[in-house]
Amino acid sequence: MTAHARTLCFLLLSFAGCTAAVDPVEPTQPPSPVPLSAAVPVTPMTPVALHPKLEASFSQWEGLGPTGDPTHREKLQKLAETVRTQLSAAGSADLLFVCTHNSRRSHISQILALAAAKRVGLSTIQTFSGGTEATAFNPRAIAALQRVGVEIAPAEGKNPIYPVSISPGLKPTNAFSKKMDDSSNPSKGFVAVMTCSQADASCPYVPGAAARVAVPYEDPKVADNTPEETARYDERVAQIGRDMAWVFAQVAKR
């Protein structure tokens, strides 16, 4: 792809809104097993102990299973198989969660995906997030993650860099809003996970990605400054948490 084409793709993505996606419809039956790659077995290492409150959240989410209608669950299956294939081929997998502003859903997905992977012993999975413009990690999303047990330290500035901790046994990671091609993100060989439906439709190619999977979610921003604000952010965190718990449990199956 030429530099001009890549620039056009980024511009299209930046003009795309991050709006409607998937409501957390309860599944009518358990998802079908994910087909497993036959290349090299994925061998989980020692599971990481999450912070107690976060582990309690994941235990609940795991018991509830994934969210969404059959179409949404097919996307989760595709994500699980893509990650497993990457692990089988390379022994590791980098996941870049993408939305236009890198402010809410992509951060929530990045953090909860990392926690879901580490708690089942997938030590060679790393997660990242980005967008087409840098804004800031939204304080409402931060508060919702804190309510389920993610420890996020205060930070200051226009685009603060927040230390995020999912486990007492792991170093905190830095969370801040950034573009997809920021130097802190992988530049090639990663799995791009599109969390924004409009952006997904506008830019079918992510430079450097080895694979691309769309798992869009409704933006909790629609409830900002309304009586439903806290409930909507909690709903989105729980939805993504349930989905990520299921996805990485499938990846870790022998």
pLDDT in tens, the chain (254 residues): 444 444 445 444 444 444 444 444 444 444 544 443 333 456 668 999 999 999 999 999 999 999 999 999 999 999 999 999 999 999 999 999 999 899 999 999 999 999 999 999 999 999 999 998 899 999 999 999 999 999 999 999 999 999 999 999 999 999 999 999 999 999 999 999 999 887 687 667 899 999 999 999 999 999 999 999 999 999 999 999 999 999 999 999 86
- Asked, for residue 27, whether it belongs to a domain, the answer is no
Q: What is the pLDDT of residue 42?
A: 65
Asked, for residue 28, whether it belongs to a domain, the answer is no
H helices of 91-228, where?
Answer: 105-119, 139-147, 197-202
Tell me whether residue 242 is in a domain: yes
Query: Does residue 26 form part of some domain?
Result: no
User: Structural domain of residue 171, as residue ranges?
Assistant: 3-20+34-252
pLDDT for the residue numbered 35? 42
Whether 25 is covered by a domain: the verdict is no
- Asked if the structure places residue 70 within a domain, the reply is yes
**Is this model's pTM higher than 0.95 or not?**
no
pLDDT recorded at residue 19:
42
Considering its fold, how many domains does the chain have in total?
Answer: 1
Q: How far apart are CA 128 and CA 108, in angstroms?
A: 11
What's the sign of the alpha-carbon dihedral 134, 18, 137, 78?
negative
DSSP string, 69-88: -HHHHHHHHHHHHHHHHHHH
Question: In this structure, what CATH number is given to the domain that contains residue 71?
Answer: 3.40.50.2300
Which stretches of the chain are assigned E, i.e. beta strand? 93-98, 125-130, 151-152, 162-165, 173-175, 190-194, 209-214
- Report CA 9 to chain centroid distance, whole Å: 22
At 178, is the secondary structure helix, strand, or coil? coil
Q: What's the pLDDT at 43?
A: 65
User: Does residue 146 belong to any structural domain of this protein?
Assistant: yes
